[in-house]
């Protein structure tokens, strides 16, 4: 197995996956196309070969024509079994496995052998949810691979941690392959457009058999222009009808789910902070990659606020938080973030130069009567560090931090 000569390390994922290596759990890596799943597999293969130079590695990449003949679960099963060694550990890597019909049946069978260490990737969350859980009976663990974090972006592109670099990250996003390209808007935009078109065609339109592609384009443009706004399928349908686009709430919901399944957007539900329950209706949408969002809606000055909110959401998710929109009576908390039984509350503001804005952003957090950490993240670098006990942090420092509920560790460079 020959891996690429240049592999940029993404150690945070390897650290999470390592405890489960050589265990009888199927390691599932999901995320949209070109987000770096294959390179995570290459890193894992190299790690295995460092520890076991003659390791029996079986690698299948469904985007490679060498494996075009593997189309069904039986063909997958037969191919892998022809390569396994019953007397030693077999490391089985299958990239973009969703291209194989009923692959779950083969994985269930292969996972029965304790000396099969299985790693799979896929670009559609739908096929890795309930069906896989049913087939494997809980014998799998899923890792979502995201676009580059801000610090990864700096590392990949060899940039200093300053506001110029931050603006590049906000503008171009975190697709890993960008580090191979010149940092020129025309070149990068053309690449991002090609990736976006591929995701839409293969993982949304073809997979969901979507015929009304014109509406799909209208919907994703609407979501790109309304990041951070609270919606339901009905409210989106009603708005589009006002624009003379007649689509039922059911179809809106189906198409929005298709975009979420393909990891283009993430749907975030609402959480009642007092009642400690999730609301059944009303959600917000955030984009997995801001570069993709910007080629859809454009990079406009007036959108800075929604871009900052999307950045904060992505950084929280990258750091392992389960994120919800908070509801406190008639007030809203941008993000209620839970991880390993701990909670932090986060508000996002573009600027904090006006007293009314300060009172609103900090005041909402002050109304929460518990002792969990509360943070306001803003684009205002000169604002004081705290306000009535609520911590303020500049967006670049926030993106440079390793988030902890007890203390916010910040890597200021």
Strands 342-349 and 374-378: parallel
Residues 6+ apart with CB under 8 A from 128: 28, 30, 122, 142
| pLDDT at position 130 | 58
* Helix (H/G/I), strand (E/B), else coil: 344: strand
| pLDDT at position 404 | 61
Q: Which of 385, 228, 402 is nearest to 316 (CA)?
A: 402
- Beta strands (DSSP E) in 205-254 are none
| pLDDT at position 244 | 85
Q: Are 136 and 108 in contact (CB under 8 A)?
A: yes
The CA distance from 307 to 287, in Å, is 9
The CA distance from 196 to 188, in Å, is 12
Q: Is 184 exposed, middle or buried (0-12, 13-18, 19+ CB in 10 A)?
A: exposed
- Beta strands (DSSP E) in 24-150 are 26-30, 56-61, 90-95, 116-122, 140-144
| pLDDT at position 136 | 79
pTM of the model: 0.94
The CA distance from 200 to 265, in Å, is 12
Q: Domains for the chain: give ranges and CATH numbers.
A: 12-144 (3.40.50.300), 150-410 (no CATH)
**Treating both helix axes as pointing N-terminal to C-terminal, what angle do 233-242 and 249-261 enclose, rounded to 10 degrees?**
110
The CA distance from 36 to 30, in Å, is 10
The CA distance from 245 to 115, in Å, is 55
| pLDDT at position 413 | 41
Q: Are 362 and 387 in contact (CB under 8 A)?
A: yes
| pLDDT at position 73 | 96
Backbone angles phi, psi at 277, to 5 degrees: -145, 160
Q: Are 335 and 345 in contact (CB under 8 A)?
A: yes
| pLDDT at position 47 | 96
| pLDDT at position 251 | 94
Q: What does each C-alpha distance from 148 to 2, 175, 320, 340 come to in angstroms? A: 24, 6, 14, 23
Q: Are 61 and 38 in contact (CB under 8 A)?
A: yes
Task: Work out the mean pLDDT of the chain and round it to a whole number.
Answer: 92
**Sign of the CA dihedral 67, 70, 73, 77?**
negative
Work out the end-to-end distance of the chain between its first and last CA atoms, rounded to an integer number of angstroms.
39
Q: Mean pLDDT by 10-residue block, N- to C-terminus, for the chain (413 residues)?
A: 81 96 94 95 96 97 95 98 97 95 93 96 77 77 96 97 98 97 96 97 94 94 95 90 89 95 96 90 95 98 97 97 94 95 95 92 94 95 90 96 59 45
The CA distance from 181 to 240, in Å, is 38
Q: Are 256 and 219 in contact (CB under 8 A)?
A: yes
Q: Which of 1, 43, 11 is nearest to 148 (CA)?
A: 11
The CA distance from 39 to 147, in Å, is 12
| pLDDT at position 407 | 45
Encode pLDDT of 54-106 as tens digits.
999 999 999 999 999 999 999 999 999 999 999 999 999 999 999 999 999 99
């Amino acid at each position: 197995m020959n891996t690429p000569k240049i592999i940029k390390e993404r150690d945070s994922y390897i650290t999470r996956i390592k405890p489960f290596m050589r265990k009888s759990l199927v390691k599932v890596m999901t995320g949209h196309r070109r987000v770096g799943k294959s390179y995570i597999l290459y890193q894992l293969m190299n790690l295995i070969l460092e520890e076991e130079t003659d390791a029996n590695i079986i690698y299948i990449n469904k985007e490679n024509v060498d494996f075009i003949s593997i189309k069904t679960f039986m063909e997958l099963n037969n191919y892998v079994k022809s390569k396994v060694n019953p007397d030693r550990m077999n490391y089985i890597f299958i990239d973009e496995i969703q291209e194989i019909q009923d692959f779950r049946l083969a994985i269930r069978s292969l996972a029965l052998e304790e000396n099969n260490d299985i790693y799979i990737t896929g670009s559609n969350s739908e096929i890795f949810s309930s069906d896989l859980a049913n087939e494997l009976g809980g014998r799998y663990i899923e890792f979502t691979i995201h676009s580059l974090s801000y610090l990864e972006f700096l590392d990949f592109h060899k940039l200093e941690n300053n506001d110029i670099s931050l603006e590049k990250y906000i503008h171009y996003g975190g697709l890993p392959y960008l580090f191979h390209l010149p940092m020129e808007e025309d070149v990068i935009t053309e690449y991002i457009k090609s990736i976006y078109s591929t995701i839409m065609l293969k993982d949304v339109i073809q997979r969901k058999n979507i015929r009304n592609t014109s509406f799909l384009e209208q919907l994703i443009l609407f979501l790109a222009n309304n990041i951070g706004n609270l919606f339901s399928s009905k409210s989106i349908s009603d708005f589009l009808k006002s624009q003379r686009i007649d689509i039922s709430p059911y179809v809106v919901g189906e198409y929005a789910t298709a975009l979420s399944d393909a990891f283009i957007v993430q749907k975030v539900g609402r959480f009642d902070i007092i009642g400690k329950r999730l609301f059944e209706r009303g959600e917000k949408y955030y984009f997995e990659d801001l570069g993709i969002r910007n080629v859809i809606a454009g990079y406009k000055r007036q959108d800075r606020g929604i871009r900052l909110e999307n950045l904060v959401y992505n950084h929280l998710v990258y750091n392992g938080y389960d994120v919800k929109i908070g509801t406190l009576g008639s007030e809203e908390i941008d993000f209620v973030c839970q991880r390993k039984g701990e909670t932090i509350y986060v508000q996002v503001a573009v600027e904090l130069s006006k007293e009314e804005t300060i009172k609103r952003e900090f005041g909402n957090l002050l109304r929460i009567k518990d002792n969990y950490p509360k943070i306001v993240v803003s684009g205002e670098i000169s604002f004081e560090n705290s306000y009535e006990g609520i911590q303020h942090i500049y967006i670049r420092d926030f993106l440079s931090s390793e988030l902890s509920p007890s203390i916010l560790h910040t890597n200021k460079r």
